[in-house]
């Protein structure tokens, strides 16, 4: 990295594109942080949650007597106490009109549907006393049959929710023939069965846990009839709206603050039982109440991610041209529907065809209930599943045809001169250059050399085999055009809001509705505004994450912040300039059209007369000499609704070494070249890619949420759920190509999820490429040594028998 | 309850603590040193790492009473007179943090790592930080930050003094 001292950087160099060090860092590196659990209020009480050890049971009795008498205990509240106050937690994305969903109580009333569900809460003077007392709450359960396996759940009883009479929540279909975006996939498949190639596979997306580093925490201050709620959430605006809707509290009485938030990755894109219960406890006691989960509670009760069974059919001609793709998913909802649980597979529906030109396509997801922790968004949310499936299939097709996997992909992908391109899934990709990214990635990787080494190792029978994993991915980001969300039956919109205030002293305040939790919005938004308004980077202050300060917003997820929120900031800045132009023209006695604005200053064309933006702001503040009827302010708001998604893409290459004697895998080299459009801050972009890669690689090699036959999560601590450490990962070689987005003025595409989406198939393809010649066709993720070893043993046994 | 005397970030404290109190609970709840955070129950994540008599320990794995008579340095005690510790500065310069939750522990462990080995290889840095989890950065820029401090200290052979001076 080039060490750039931004303090002496040339003011003439645009801020956008500079590797600015982050404004956010100072408090985070000195410990002056305001994570929710760091906050305390006078008289504050603490909550402890009694959670069910059973995955499915009837609650026969809850005896709270001993807990009530425990030292420091103020109240013990059960489902019976709160049944008529708690409402039902919402699903904001009913994907079909006949979607089935159980009532979703914050605290279970008469039955529990997953292990970890809250059955009672204890309110005490200290967190320790609350935890002591939860041990004394005696719950009498009557066990019910559990359903855990996806295929068994679809087949019939037992039911996760017997009152629904089925485990199927909804079935949702996209068919290119019906939609008019392509041909009938069944015809394509029939043709390929006659004289082409068919690849039929079933892949398993294991269950993952977002595992943000900061456990969730909520603090509620009931001040008179108002409520202030601090929550470790990605979505303070959602929390405010749903507290109002679910608990019947006027929205105007609720203030939600997301202070410093320690990561989310989709895991904090939720309206949680714990938020509802902390609010109810605060209203019950009339005192500030805080709840902070332990890590074990977080792993068992915060929503999980992925968990799909993917049944896939790819049709191609013998020359390797892909023609049809049929996707049939079983998607595990877990026990309940959270905010966007049911929509997660649907977010993948438009991406299975990826960068390839299929003629026919059909996507079906069957959403299934089981007695497990509910699932919902986890980094990528639907798109990693899609990318994994298609990139695995393309490798399997290449193997079937004896072709180089990159060359086969290039035969089928959209060429750079074909953009904009309407896909078989109904999307319009605005821009991209897969050839450029791939060429650069191959060069950085040393593709030909590694292929040669691979060949040598195969020929010599080296116990350590080398595989080259390929993933040429795209994703849809910038969630989302509101009309599209409406068409998909999502209840909300996809716009974002921003306000810009120019203070009398010339400093600038930017309010954004995108609530950051580590992404660096304060820095990036400052760069955008500094350029647009011609003010110093240091003079821009970015405010967010508090509904009293930023009342309008739709928060941070789906790689939307820059693409949608950044555009709102840009639009607000343009309105500020136009208001200031009126003042400048008036005071300079010029026609507004004769003013040029550059470098933060209006000048009258052809003269040296001018006025700085800050002077216009001060003139508005004084209001002594403004045009007649001019509202004395140059501040402005903007709400921006994107016209299309954005489509970042990239080529990721992984060199995997597999020890055929032990099954151990080693990621020797990882190269990725991403095209995320224009870049505001390369340092932040690179950081997002690194972190995304780590999470995607972790799905491929390390992480899995595992349940036993009773529905008990046995990977319920960081001892058992393997979040990789520094020692588990190499340094990555990253680079970029740039094809600017054409559907937004910044030309940006989003980068939050790219690394995660692209890397998982690159790794697994690499593992398989190393051992496919030994007869191994699949290793189910995570590719832990014992699984690789067993796959090798099975292949060698099978080979020996033949 | 037991009375303990602990020097934390250069200030002498004498407090009554419940015997079962963890050091991290004492720091956060009794001293208000919330810069040190809690990330797990099982000593895996290292978010609560502090220095105990100059060496890193996980403050969730030590009882407060065990700190009686000892020196503890937290993330809040590293900067002096507004001047950042070189490791803090390097984390900022290398973009070695995103959400920042693991950062206090990661910085404390990184300083200790260089106390033990002033010129570590990349592999040694990665092994040395094995007890600290980060979910945001993929570790690459954290490793870079540690290398940056090691490189800056190497010519003067000053690395070893850093941990002690914190």
pLDDT digits (tens, 9 = 90+) for A122-143: 999 999 999 999 999 999 999 9
Q: Are both A287 and A309 inside the same structural domain?
A: no
Q: Residue A11 has what pLDDT?
A: 57
Instruction: Inspect the interface and report whether the beta carbons of B99 and A30 lie closer than 8 Å.
Output: no
The reply to whether B55 and B101 lie within a common domain is: no
- Report how far residue A736's alpha carbon sits from residue A738's, in angstroms, rounded to the nearest whole number: 6
Distance CA A444, CA A217 (A): 43
**Residues B112 and B150 placed together within one structural domain of the fold:** yes
Residues A613 and A648 in one domain: no
| Chain B residue at shortest CA distance from A295 | B40
Degrees, nearest 5: CA angle A383-A386-A389: 150
Main-chain dihedrals φ then ψ at residue B141, nearest 5 degrees: -75, -20
Contacts of A214 in chain B (CB under 8 A): 37, 39, 99, 101
Closest CB from A35, A296, A726 relative to B37: A35
Are residues B69 and B97 located together in one domain of the fold?
A: no
Establish if B80 touches chain A: CB-CB under 8 angstroms.
Answer: no
B92 and B48, same structural domain?
no
Q: Select the residue of A38, A723, A726 nearest B135 (Cβ to Cβ).
A: A723
Facing residue for B139 by CB, picked from A295, A717, A729: A729
For chain B, what is the domain count?
2
- pLDDT at residue A799, as a whole number: 64
* Contact criterion met (CB < 8 Å) for A22 and B92: yes
Same domain, A674 and A773: yes
Length of chain A: 802
CB nearest to A262's CB, from B99, B130, B137: B99
Helix spans in A259-370 (H) = 273-285, 295-301, 344-349
Of B34, B58, B77, the domain-final residue: B77
In this predicted structure, what is the pLDDT of residue A322?
98
pLDDT for A10: 52
Nearest-CA distance B97 → chain A (Å): 8
The reply to whether B64 and B132 lie within a common domain is no
Torsion of CA A734, A738, A742, A746, to 10 degrees: 70
User: Under an 8 A CB cutoff, do B88 and A30 touch?
Assistant: yes
A295 and A310 in one domain? no
Element (H, E) at B147: helix B140-153
Question: In the listed set B19, B52, B77, which residue is the last one of a domain according to the structure?
Answer: B77
**Which residues in chain B (31-50) have CB-CB distances under 8 A to chain A?**
33-42, 44-45, 47
Residues with Cβ < 8 Å from A519, sequence gap 6 or more? Answer: A556, A561, A684, A688, A752, B98
Which of A32, A295, A695 shows the shortest C-beta gap to B41? Answer: A295
Q: Which pair of tokens denotes residue A108?
A: 């279970």
What is the least distance, in Å, from the CA of A361 to any CA of chain B? 35
Taking an 8 Å cut-off on Cβ atoms, the answer to whether A35 and B92 are in contact is no
Q: Å from A731 to nearest chain B CA?
A: 6
| In a shared domain, residues A740 and A765 | yes
Chain A contact present for B142, CB below 8 A: yes
Range of the domain at A437: 305-479+644-801
Nearest Cβ partner of A213 from B88, B135, B141?
B135
Range A15-26 average pLDDT: 97
Other beta carbons within 10 Å of A66: 14
- Are B66 and B9 found together in one domain? yes
Task: Tell which of B77, B97, B119 closes a domain.
Answer: B77
B58 Cβ under 8 Å from any chain A Cβ: no
> pLDDT by residue (tens digit) across A62-78?
999 999 999 999 999 99
Position B154 scores a pLDDT of 76
Residues B38, B94 within the same domain: no
In residues, how long is chain B? 166
Please give the C-alpha separations between residue A243 and each of A236, A240, A251, A333, in angstroms, as whole numbers. 10, 5, 8, 23
Measure CB to CB from residue B99 to each of A263, A684, A755 and give the nearest one. Answer: A263
pLDDT above 90: percentage of residues in chain A: 97
Q: Which residues of B touch A217 (CB under 8 A)?
A: none
Distance of CA A436 to the CA centre of its chain: 27
At residue B41, the pLDDT reads 83
Q: What is the CATH number of the domain that holds A250?
A: 3.90.1170.50
Rounded to whole angstroms, the Cα distance separating A200 from A413 reads 21
| Contact between B130 and A726 using a beta-carbon 8 Å cutoff | yes
Q: Is the pLDDT of residue A7 over 50?
A: no
The rounded percent of chain A whose pLDDT value lies above 70 is 98
Q: Which pLDDT belongs to residue A6?
A: 41
Are the Cβ atoms of A725 and B75 closer than 8 angstroms? no
Question: Are B34 and B71 contained in the same domain?
Answer: yes
Give B158 to chain A, closest Cα distance, Å.
Answer: 22
Our CA-based measurement puts residue B69 at a distance from the nearest CA of chain A, in whole angstroms, of 24
ipTM of the shown complex: 0.96
User: pLDDT of chain B along its 166 residues, tens only?
Assistant: 999 999 999 999 999 999 999 999 999 999 999 999 999 989 999 999 999 999 999 999 999 999 999 999 999 999 999 999 999 999 999 999 999 999 999 999 999 999 999 999 999 999 999 999 999 999 999 999 999 999 998 765 444 433 333 3
| Alpha-helical regions (H) of A552-706 | 567-588, 613-622, 682-701
- Residues on chain A touching B74 (C-beta within 8 angstroms): 31
Task: Judge: B37–A294 Cβ closer than 8 Å, yes or no.
Answer: no
* Per-residue pLDDT reduced to its tens digit, A304-328: 999 999 999 999 999 999 999 999 9
> How many degrees, rounded to 5, is the angle at CA A781 between CA A689 and CA A407?
65
Grade residue A435 by pLDDT with cuts at 50, 70 and 90.
very high
pLDDT of A561 > 50? The answer is: yes
**Euclidean distance between CA atoms A694 and A575, whole angstroms:** 40
* Pair (A325, A470) in one structural domain: yes
The answer to whether residue A159 is domain-embedded is no
Distance from CA of B118 to the nearest CA of A (A): 19
Sequence-separated (6 or more) residues with CB below 8 Å from residue A131: A48
Model confidence at A225, pLDDT cuts 50, 70, 90, reads confident
- Verify whether the Cβ–Cβ distance A732 to B140 is below 8 Å: yes
The H-or-E segment that residue A500 falls in is strand A496-502
Q: Please state the separation of Cα A295 from the chain's center in Å.
A: 21
Cα-based distances in Å from B99 to A453, A521, A609, A613: 40, 11, 46, 34
Answer with the one of A251, A283, A301 that is the final residue of a domain: A301
Whether A738 and A761 share a structural domain: yes
Inform me whether the C-beta atom of residue B81 falls under 8 Å from chain A C-beta atoms: no
Q: Give the global pTM.
A: 0.96
Using CA atoms, how far apart are residues A267 and A272, in angstroms rounded to an integer? 11
* CA–CA separation, A506 and A533 (whole Å): 11
pLDDT number for residue A12: 72
* A170 falls within a domain: no
Chain B residue numbers with beta carbons less than 8 Å from the beta carbon of A25 are 91-92, 97, 100
Per the structure, the complete domain to which residue B54 belongs is given by 2-77
Query: Which residues pair with residue A651 across a beta bridge?
Result: A472, A673
Across the interface, do A215 and B76 touch by the CB < 8 Å criterion? no
Taking 60 as the threshold, does the pLDDT of residue A410 lie above it? yes
**What strands lie across the sheet with A601-604, from one edge to the other?**
A595-598, A601-604, A610-612
Shortest Cα distance, chain A CAs vs residue B142, angstroms:
9
Distances from the Cα of A222 to the Cα of A41, A123, A243, A246, angstroms: 11, 15, 14, 17
* Chain B: closest CA distance from residue A203 (Å): 26
Residues in chain B within 8 Å Cβ distance of A684? 95
Q: Residue B40 belongs to a domain with what CATH number?
A: 3.10.20.30
- Mutation target to probe the B interface, by most B beta carbons within 10 A, among A126, A674, A701, A725 is A725
Q: Does A137 reside within a domain?
A: yes
Mean pLDDT of the A177-182 span:
98
Contacts of B104 in chain A (CB under 8 A): 31
């Amino acid at each position: 990295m080039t060490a750039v001292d931004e303090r002496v950087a040339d003011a003439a160099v645009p801020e956008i594109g500079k590797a600015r060090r982050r404004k956010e860092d100072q408090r985070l590196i000195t410990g002056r942080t305001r994570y929710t659990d760091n906050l305390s209020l006078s008289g504050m009480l603490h909550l402890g949650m009694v959670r069910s050890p059973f995955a499915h049971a009837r609650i026969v009795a809850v005896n709270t007597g001993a807990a009530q008498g425990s030292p420091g205990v103020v109240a013990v509240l059960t489902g019976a106490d709160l049944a008529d106050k708690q409402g039902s937690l919402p699903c904001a994305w009913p994907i079909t009109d006949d979607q089935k969903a159980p009532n979703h109580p914050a605290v279970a009333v008469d039955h529990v549907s997953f292990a970890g569900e809250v059955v009672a809460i204890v309110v005490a003077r200290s967190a320790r006393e609350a935890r002591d007392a939860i041990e004394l709450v005696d719950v009498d359960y009557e066990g019910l049959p559990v359903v855990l396996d996806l295929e068994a759940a679809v087949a019939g009883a037992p039911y996760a929710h017997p009152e629904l009479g089925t485990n199927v929540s909804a079935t949702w279909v996209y068919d290119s023939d019906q939609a008019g975006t392509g041909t009938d996939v069944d015809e394509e498949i029939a043709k390929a069965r006659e004289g082409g190639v068919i690849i039929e596979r079933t892949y398993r997306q294991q269950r993952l846990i977002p595992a943000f580093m900061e456990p969730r925490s909520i603090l509620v201050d009931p001040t008179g009839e108002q409520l202030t709620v601090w929550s470790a959430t990605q979505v303070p605006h959602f929390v405010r709206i749903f507290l109002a809707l679910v608990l019947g509290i006027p929205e105007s009485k609720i203030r939600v603050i997301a202070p410093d938030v320690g990561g989310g990755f989709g895991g904090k894109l939720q309206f949680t039982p714990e938020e509802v219960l902390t609010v109810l406890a605060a209203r019950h006691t009339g005192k500030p109440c805080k709840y902070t989960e332990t890590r074990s509670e977080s792993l068992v009760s915060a929503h999980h991610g992925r968990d799909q069974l993917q049944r896939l059919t790819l049709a191609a001609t013998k020359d390797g041209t892909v023609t049809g793709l049929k996707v049939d998913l079983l998607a595990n909802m877990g026990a309940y529907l959270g905010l966007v649980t049911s929509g997660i597979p649907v977010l993948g529906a438009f991406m299975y065809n990826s960068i390839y030109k299929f003629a026919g396509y059909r996507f079906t997801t069957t959403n299934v209930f089981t007695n497990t922790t509910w699932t919902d968004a986890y980094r990528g949310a639907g798109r990693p599943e899609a990318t994994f499936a298609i990139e695995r299939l393309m490798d399997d097709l290449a193997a079937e045809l004896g072709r180089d996997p990159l060359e086969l992909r290039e035969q089928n992908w959209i060429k750079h001169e074909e953009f904009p391109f309407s896909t078989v899934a109904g999307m319009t990709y605005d821009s991209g250059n897969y050839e450029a990214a791939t060429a650069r990635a191959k060069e950085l990787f040393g593709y030909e050399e590694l292929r040669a080494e691979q060949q040598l190792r195969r020929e010599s029978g080296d116990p350590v085999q080398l595989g080259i994993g390929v993933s040429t991915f795209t994703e849809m980001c910038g969630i989302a055009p509101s009309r599209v969300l409406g068409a998909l039956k999502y209840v909300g919109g996809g716009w974002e809001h921003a306000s810009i205030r120019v203070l009398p002293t010339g400093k600038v305040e930017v309010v954004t509705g995108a609530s950051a939790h580590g992404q660096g919005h304060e820095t990036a938004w400052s760069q955008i505004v500094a350029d647009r308004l011609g003010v110093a980077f240091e003079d821009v202050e970015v405010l967010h994450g508090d509904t009293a300060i930023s009342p309008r917003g739709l928060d941070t997820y789906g790689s939307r912040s820059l693409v949608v929120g950044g555009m709102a900031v840009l639009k607000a800045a343009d309105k500020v300039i136009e208001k200031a132009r009126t003042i400048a023209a008036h005071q300079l006695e010029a026609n507004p059209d004769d003013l040029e604005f550059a470098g933060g200053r209006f000048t009258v064309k052809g003269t040296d007369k001018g006025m700085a933006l800050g002077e216009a702001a001060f003139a508005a503040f004084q209001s002594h000499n403004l045009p007649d009827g001019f509202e004395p302010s140059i501040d402005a708001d903007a709400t921006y609704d994107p016209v299309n998604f954005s489509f970042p893409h990239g080529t990721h290459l992984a060199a995997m070494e597999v020890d055929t004697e032990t099954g151990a895998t080693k990621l020797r080299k990882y190269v990725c070249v991403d095209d995320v459009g224009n870049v505001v801050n390369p340092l932040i972009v690179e950081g997002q890619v690194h972190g995304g890669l780590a999470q995607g690689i972790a799905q491929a090699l390390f992480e899995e949420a595992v349940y036993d036959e009773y529905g008990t999560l046995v990977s319920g601590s960081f001892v058992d759920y393997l979040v990789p450490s520094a020692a588990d990962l190499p340094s990555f070689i990253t680079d970029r190509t740039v094809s600017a987005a054409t559907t937004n003025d910044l030309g940006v595409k989003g980068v939050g999820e790219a690394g995660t989406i692209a890397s998982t198939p690159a790794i697994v393809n690499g593992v398989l490429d190393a051992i496919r010649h030994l007869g191994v066709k699949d290793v189910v993720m995570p590719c832990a040594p014992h699984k690789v070893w067993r796959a090798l043993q099975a292949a060698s046994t099978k080979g020996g028998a033949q | 309850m037991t009375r303990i005397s602990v020097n934390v970030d250069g200030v002498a404290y004498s407090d009554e603590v419940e015997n079962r109190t963890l050091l991290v609970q004492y720091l956060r709840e009794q001293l208000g040193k919330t810069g040190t955070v809690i990330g797990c129950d099982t000593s895996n994540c290292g978010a609560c790492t502090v220095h105990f008599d100059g060496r890193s320990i996980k403050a969730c794995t030590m009882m407060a009473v065990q700190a009686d008579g000892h020196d503890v340095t937290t993330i809040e005690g590293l900067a002096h007179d507004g001047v950042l510790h070189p490791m803090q500065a390097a984390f900022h310069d290398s973009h070695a943090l995103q959400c920042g939750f693991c950062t206090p522990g990661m910085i404390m462990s990184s300083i200790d790592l260089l106390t033990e080995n002033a010129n570590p290889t990349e592999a040694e840095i990665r092994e040395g930080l094995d007890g600290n989890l980060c979910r945001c950065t993929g570790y690459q820029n954290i490793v870079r930050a540690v290398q940056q401090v090691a490189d800056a200290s190497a010519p003067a052979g000053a690395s070893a003094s850093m941990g002690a001076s914190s």
